[in-house]
């Protein structure tokens, strides 16, 4: 089964990863990619560079340029995980969060991808 782990960050903190964190993260990403547990991962550019597109009632489309000041936390990155269960996907996400150490305040949301191509049955 495949799961999407989305990391939520508070952009107002302006926290940047250290060289040590980047090296530790690189080793974890390499390990999980080799084992087949990590399908894809990436960080996201700041919300100030993003655009939200919304479909409103009546079929009207609206766009809003970032930054999105009403949002305290935004999605800062993602990982697509291959796991046998939600519990395994959560443990992989915990490993990712633990790499960050004690200086970060982060949250990840883990959700199973839906559809037969991802191991889910209707």
Helix, strand, or coil (residue 13) = helix
Q: Which pTM does this prediction carry? A: 0.85
- What structural domains and CATH numbers belong to the chain? 2-116 (3.30.70.1060)
Report the alpha-carbon distance of residue 120 to residue 87 in Å, rounded: 16
Reported as a single tens digit per residue, the pLDDT across 74-120 is 899 999 999 999 999 999 999 999 999 888 889 999 999 997 665 55
Report the alpha-carbon distance of residue 21 to residue 34 in Å, rounded: 20
Reported as a single tens digit per residue, the pLDDT across 9-20 is 888 787 888 899
């Amino acid at each position: 089964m495949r799961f999407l782990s989305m990391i939520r960050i508070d952009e107002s903190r302006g926290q940047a990863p250290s060289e040590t964190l980047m090296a530790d993260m690189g080793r974890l990403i390499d390990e999980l990619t080799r084992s087949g547990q990590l399908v894809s991962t990436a960080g996201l550019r700041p919300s100030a560079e993003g655009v939200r597109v919304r479909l409103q009632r009546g079929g009207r489309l609206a766009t809003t340029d970032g930054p999105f000041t009403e949002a305290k936390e935004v999605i800062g990155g993602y990982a697509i995980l291959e796991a046998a269960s939600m519990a395994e996907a959560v443990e992989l996400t915990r490993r990712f969060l633990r790499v960050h150490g004690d200086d970060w305040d982060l949250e990840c949301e883990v959700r199973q991808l839906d559809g037969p191509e991802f191991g889910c049955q209707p």
